[in-house]
Amino acid sequence: MSLQALLAGLIVVSTIGFVVGTSIERHNSGHEAAAHVRAETKAAAHDETGGETPAEHAAKNGGEAAPAGSESGGESAATHTAEGSTTPVEQDEELRPLGIDIEAIPFIVLAALGSLALAAGAWLRPRWVALLAVVVVAMVVFAALDVRESFHQSDEAKTGLEILAGAIAVLHLAAAAVAARMAHTARVATG
């Protein structure tokens, strides 16, 4: 297998892993947020009726439902939960350089397209030292972001995503090493 094929393969596989990992993370975070809201709403409804379910409260009080403002001054459980829940909402600790969400879909698409463009460039022009240097820098930056993401997933106790981010970091570092080797070979060949 030639180095250019290896480099292109490493970049393509790491890009696929990146897109799959971010898709899984987005999917899971959406479900976690919905579950968190449901749990808070249920807890607030439980507090308003003094620990009783609405049906238990109605049975106990001769068929009357719990008063709308029994403990929350006329607010619904959802409004009370949203305004002043005692459960702190977790802050999103994702990396945001310059306040930009780098895991937003447009940036994911740009990163994937950029990676694939670098792979195509290295495939088509394997002797362009400047292009290979750009590939090395890009792969090292991506690897650093992958390592940071791996630690973030570890903090969130998401072992599968942690392992995936670590594997993608290794692929990016391998691509950087292959590109560096190709650049060195091209530089030596041109004298």
Each residue's pLDDT tens digit, 144-186? 999 998 898 888 888 888 899 999 999 999 999 999 999 999 8
pLDDT of 57 > 70? The answer is no
Domains of the chain, by residue range, sit at 3-90+104-190
The whole-model pTM stands at: 0.65
The mean predicted confidence, pLDDT, of the chain is 77
Please report, for residues 68, 69, 109, 125, 168, the alpha-carbon distance to residue 137 in angstroms, rounded to integers and kept in the order given. Answer: 61, 60, 19, 17, 16
For the chain, the first-to-last Cα distance in angstroms comes to 25
